[in-house]
Amino acid sequence: MHWRRQHASLMMVQLFMSIAHSMYITLLPRQLSDLGLSAEELTTWTGIIFAGNFAAMMLIMPLLGRMGDRIGRKPIMLWSGLGMALMTLLMSAAGSQIEMAVLRFLQGCFTGILPFSMILVVTGAPKDRVGVSVGKMQMMAESGAVIGPLIGALLLAFLQPRFGFPVMSAFILTATIFVWRFVQDPKEQKLLAEVKTNLWQDFREIWRTKPFPQLMISAFCINFCLIGTVPLLGFFIEAADGHWWTGGFNIGFALSITSFAVILSSPLLGKLSDRIGALPMLTAAALLASTLSVVQAMAHSYTMIIICRFLMGVCVAALLPNVQAQIRQYVRPGMESRTFGFTNSWQFMGSLSGPALGGVLTSYLGIRGWFWALALVFCFSFLQALWMGRLVKETHQALPVT
């Protein structure tokens, strides 16, 4: 079937792009260190450069969504892939941290390839296969997130950091070639060339459509919690009792166990979502994530933290994929790219604000206070899911009987 070939190609795009993105985590600190930054400056500029990418993605996604509905998703993906490859290649020649920050921001402006890959999967898969299709995309993304830092570390063992950026660019270019050769826009997309509204009108229409406000807020909450926790986990794990090993392997294992859980559970939870529905899965995952945050706030044992991090990976596999599946269910034909674009913008807003507020909250409340804050945010996301269920039920009851 055509959608199976399309899905297989998009999975490879997801894998190569995720490898490239995660290599950056390994290469950037060493690159900045080689530029002569002090330890304090290194921490500050690493945060600024990472945040710049999320800020650009947050701002550009609604515009890219609008363009996707006008001219098709594949042209946006090709333009984004080529732009990202070029900006990444130029990073190897950056001579200061300011140049790196500017290039990272511009790289974020060419961010359409991964979001539009997910749009094509969600809108192209049969309705009874959306969950498992999105789950496999999540599995490939997490696999790339594991492979990328390993490749980056291997490159650093033999080369200067700046020589790693052309390798990153090659992975992005490979993903772009997959899009060019094997990805096609759906036939009905060509009938939707005229978009006569502006961005503000698009946003108002989407926001007034139930349950999109709740879905956008949920996307924000999920990424706020997940991305905001990443820079703090190392300190939390180091302070735990009963480490299994000596040295840094304790931190590496605790971080990787979450990714392993995502890879293992994403396809299985996708199949379950297709059977019982995306909303019940989203509701249960948000409740479990809130409970796990409470447990982590009180945990002192390394073993308990490992268990929580594994189960949190299961929650990750059930959260954002089911937000995407819910959007597919209620999106208006002809507004798919714009709707997903605004939702992705809220998601990137969470990615930007999570690490920033996480550092501030931790400085006042401590690392355990951060996990109590996560419990509240996940609980709010759980309440949003319950509200979505109520809105959907009311909408169905209001439909005329035929």
CATH number for the domain that contains residue 166: 1.20.1250.20
Cite the beta strand spans of 94-210 per DSSP E. none
- Total Cβ atoms within 10 A of residue 136: 20
The answer to whether residues 317 and 375 belong to one domain is yes
Overall average pLDDT of the 134-160 stretch: 89
User: pTM value?
Assistant: 0.86
Evaluate whether residue 108 is within a structural domain: yes
Phi/psi at 242 (5° precision):
70, 40
**Model confidence over 237-260: pLDDT tens digits?**
888 888 887 766 777 788 788 889
The answer to whether residues 218 and 171 belong to one domain is no
pLDDT score of 402 more than 50: no
Phi/psi at 11 (5° precision):
-65, -40
pLDDT for the residue numbered 315: 93
**Model confidence over 263-272: pLDDT tens digits?**
999 999 999 9
* Total number of domains in the chain: 2
Task: Kindly indicate the confidence band of residue 13, based on its pLDDT and cuts at 50, 70 and 90.
Answer: very high
pLDDT score of 302 more than 50: yes
**Model confidence over 343-382: pLDDT tens digits?**
989 998 998 888 888 878 888 888 899 999 999 999 999 9
Residue of 135, 131, 132, 133 whose CA lies nearest to 143: 135
The answer to whether residues 372 and 230 belong to one domain is yes
Evaluate whether residue 193 is within a structural domain: no
Whole-number percent of the chain with pLDDT over 70: 94
Amino acid at residue number 299: A
pLDDT for the residue numbered 191: 44
pLDDT for the residue numbered 399: 44
Which residues form the domain of 250?
199-397
Task: Kindly indicate the confidence band of residue 90, based on its pLDDT and cuts at 50, 70 and 90.
Answer: very high
The answer to whether residues 287 and 141 belong to one domain is no
